[in-house]
Structure 1
Amino acid sequence: MLRGMATVVFYADDVAEARAWYTEFLGIEAYFERRTPEGDLGYAEFRIGDFEAEFGLVQRQFEVTPSGGPGGAILFWAVDDLDAALARLVELGAKVYDEPRSRGEGFMTASVVDPFGNILGIMTNVHYRSIVDQNRDKRLG
């Protein structure tokens, strides 16, 4: 049974460049890094969001099934303000992949292709917010 997202990885030809770009977008530094045998940055990982989800950047040479274009499953990260998040991503050089669209009352999605060829989804999601609030109430309760 799936229990929740553990780690999502994006691939980049230059992990150091991708780490710098995501550091700028996320406003935090990667907490973990691993070098290749040649000494290049092969992996960088961030912990982000309400549940400290692991977001990793992996040297493209380690990609199991290279696609040659944007690819992978689209993971939609919860955001409080979809328009502001989308604007920030575009400002940093991401290209809109899917314009904002309603997926039903309280659910909006959009996605971009980052400068490294990965699809990054963002979403406002009332269910996500209710789970965060519920878990916060349990901790405070």
Structure 2
Amino acid sequence: MLRGLATVSFFATDLPAARDWYAEVLGVAPYYAFPNAEAPGYVEFRLGDHQHELGLIDARYAPPGQTEQPGGAVVYWHVDDLQGTLDRLLAHGATEHLPVTAQGDGEGFVTASVIDPFGNILGIMTNPHYLEMLNKMTATGSRA
């Protein structure tokens, strides 16, 4: 059924500002813009070990009520330095949504989330399972 994360989409009322903010925070430029880079309605970044996609969509294409307040599913992205990543996001104008929180039985799953300057919830976490699977893939030479 579900095979893996394909694309996470965020809406923004000022798409060029959102594109620039994410490019600065992520340290990578979007690889795709539609219909073009000068007047985009959609931009997309590829991120991380599996090149998952983060798409930014002009809010005029959002379903009714979608952009009135932060909401929806929180997608957590694995990071190696949770506090450092959180500090970077906050320094770039995000606001804290949920503080650093240990989850479960102290097995190393730790989460936090912010609201980006465009009203989207961005989750970050350290995830031992992610690292375990990455190490297995590296050891066998398989790719996502």
TM-score when normalising by structure 1: 0.94
- Look up the match of 2:58: 59
1:14 alignment partner AA: D
Uncovered stretches (5+) of structure 1, i.e. residues with no partner: none
Q: CA deviation at 1:57?
A: 0.2
Within 5 A, what are the aligned runs for 1:1-141? 1-35=1-35, 40-67=39-66, 68-104=68-104, 105-139=107-141
Please give the secondary structure, in 1, of the residue aligned with 2:8.
strand
2:62 & 2:20 partners in 1: Cα distance?
20
* Percent of residue pairs bearing the same amino acid type: 46
How far does residue 5 in structure 1 lie from its aligned partner after superposition? 0.6
Cα distance in structure 2, aligned partners of 1:79 and 1:65:
32
Following the alignment from structure 2 to structure 1, what is the Cα–Cα distance between the partners of residues 41 and 35? 5
Output the amino acid matched with 2:122: L
Shift of 1:41: 1.4
List runs of 5+ in structure 2 lacking aligned partners: none
C-alpha deviations, 1:41-81, integer Å up to 9, x for none?
Answer: 11000000110001000000111243310012100000001
1:23 to partner: Cα distance: 0.3
1:33 & 1:66 partners in 2: Cα distance? 25
Q: Which amino acid aligns with 1:13?
A: T
Provide the TM-score with structure 2 as the length reference. 0.92
Instruction: Give the whole-Å Cα distance in 2 for the aligned partners of 1:50 and 1:116.
Output: 26
**SS of corresponding position for 2:141:** helix
RMSD, matched Cα? 1.4
Kindly report structure 1 stretches of 4+ aligned residues shifted beyond 2 Å: none
Structure with the higher fraction of residues in strand conformation = 1
